[in-house]
Amino acid sequence: MYRLLGVGRVVIYNTSCGPELNRLLHSYSQEGFVEMVPWPIDKHLKPAWGWNILEYPGDVHYFGQVTTLNECMYRSMRRSRYVLLNDIDKIIMPYQHDNLTSLMDTLQPQHPNTGVFFIENHIFPKKHFEPSQRFHLPQWSGVPGINILEHVYREEPDRTAYQPYKLIVQPRMVEETSIHEMRKNFGERFKVPPEVCRIIHVRVPLQGSLTLEQLKVDKRLWDFHERMIPNVDNVLRKVGLLSSDQQK
Ligand SMILES: *[C@@H]1O[C@H](CO)[C@@H](O)[C@H](O)[C@H]1NC(C)=O
Ligand SMILES: *[C@@H]1O[C@H](CO)[C@@H](O)[C@H](O)[C@H]1NC(C)=O
């Protein structure tokens, strides 16, 4: 998905990794699309295993995420125009542009002195499946993980509560970042309207009491299915996760 959206490189900080994902990441890094940064923080410190330090004590907050984000920004300063400070399970999705390049080519001239763009997070509860099962594909039945194409029901964020934004930054305009906020930057900051760009985040519900009827149907990901499915099939086949008898 990142590649289809025009991302040129993905940097991943790797503390540990299961066998299937490991094969995929090795394949993507051989192509040069993924840059793996070894991050064996657990060999040196006792990292907290969750974001909430009250629940998960440790020597360093959540595997040192704040450090990795800042390291990534400085690593990218001379080579990338923009950096998305994102998580592996979130897609920063433009809703009015074909990809992130055209999105930024529109936003930047409208906000010339801006180096920090905040993107709102939208949760697609993984317990609700799209009923037609159009993208419940047989060739993926043996692949671990979630098929994001099957989850099209979206919670409307509760904007009276704290919003965990993600950031698109011009790294040269940033001095120090945090996870959902900016600590020190040069120039302006802008909250991108959700109808222009928002995050697709398939996970457990945040507002678990909402019924299906109270969720919004959002099939934006489906606009990419024609390019996404063959690409996913190819990479799965390459690393042996798509067995030949399961192919269409
Ligand atoms: C982004 O979308 C524009 C407009 O459709 C297109 O011209 C351009 O080639 C796309 N860029 C990438 C990197 O996909
Ligand atoms: C990720 O880190 C683990 C633990 O050090 C290592 O065994 C594995 O090969 C690494 N994977 C990639 C894709 O770099």
CATH classification of the domain holding 69: 3.90.550
pLDDT tens, 49-95? 888 888 988 999 989 999 999 999 999 999 999 999 999 899 999 99
2 found inside a domain: no
Read off the pLDDT band of 244 (50, 70, 90): low
**Ligand 1 mean position, distance from CA 97 (Å):** 9
SS3 153: strand
Residue among 8, 183, 225, 219 nearest 104 (CA): 8
pLDDT of residue 209: 87
3 found inside a domain: no
75 found inside a domain: yes
**Closest ligand to residue 96's CA:** 1
4 found inside a domain: no
Residue nearest to atom 5 of ligand 2 (CA): 16
Rounded to whole angstroms, how far apart are CA atoms 40 and 13?
Answer: 9
Pairing label, strands 114-125, 166-169: antiparallel
Rounded to whole angstroms, how far apart are CA atoms 83 and 93?
Answer: 14
Number of domains making up the chain: 1
Residue nearest to atom 12 of ligand 1 (CA): 6
pLDDT of residue 248: 45
101 found inside a domain: yes
Cβ atoms of 128 and 214 closer than 8 Å: no
Give the domain extent around 37: 10-247
1 found inside a domain: no
pLDDT tens, 146-191? 999 999 999 999 999 999 999 999 999 999 999 999 999 999 999 9
Q: Kindly give, in sequence order, each residue whose CB lies less than 8 Å from that of residue 37, ignoring residues fewer than 6 positions away.
A: 11, 12, 13, 14, 68, 71
pTM across the whole model: 0.94
